[in-house]
Amino acid sequence: MNTIDPVRSWQGKWPTLGERVYVDPTSMVLGDVALGDDCSVWPMAVIRGDMHRIRIGARTSVQDGCVLHITHASDFNPDGFPLTVGDDVTIGHKAILHGCTLGSRILVGMGAIVMDGAVVEDEVIIAAGAVVTPGKRLESGFVYAGNPAKALRPLKQREREFFPYTAGNYVKLKDEYLAARD
């Protein structure tokens, strides 16, 4: 069977992968991308660092069908917007992150969209389907929902405990996938 490598260069820049990273064969990681240790990229996810950089921290999982991209530098936006994601972030199925900055210990719900220049501080839950508009800042310690996303309520202690649990769960699952391919 003829397969295409999901990790590809773009204009001479290759993605860099930390230790024990799983990239599903049906996904694509392209260009100026760095994935931290124990990251996982699941089926049909696209991480495209073709016109700016993408940096993703350790133990972050990019679920099925996600699109992660950047905003290029132009006359309209001289510096562009890279995409930066911290540690222990779970990016739910079909979420879109575009030219934004996410801290650590975050849950991005399924189908959520985080747009250019938005900043999400540590320990935030973005509800499924929420839209974080350009330039918006989400403060630490809250659940955000809606379109546009607004603070719904403070995080509960149990939800704070969920961040390392869900990140660890996906580390275990990706380890199983890595072991099965050997």
Write down the pLDDT at residue 3.
66
Length of the chain counted residue by residue: 182
**For residue 175, pLDDT beyond 60:** yes
Q: How many CB atoms within 10 Å of residue 27?
A: 21
Are 128 and 109 in contact by the 8 Å Cβ rule? The answer is yes
Section 86-114 average pLDDT? 98
Write down the pLDDT at residue 1.
45
Any idea what DSSP says for residue 28?
E
Any idea what DSSP says for residue 76?
S
Around 2, how many Cα atoms within 13 Å sit in the side-chain half-sphere?
0
CA distance 28 to 67: 10
Section 4-30 average pLDDT? 96
User: Is residue 181 very low, low, confident or very high in pLDDT (cuts 50, 70, 90)?
Assistant: confident
Nearest to 24 by CA among 47, 58, 56: 47
All domains of the chain in start order, with CATH: 7-181 (2.160.10.10)
Per-residue pLDDT tens over the stretch 68-80: 999 999 999 999 9
CA distance 35 to 162: 22
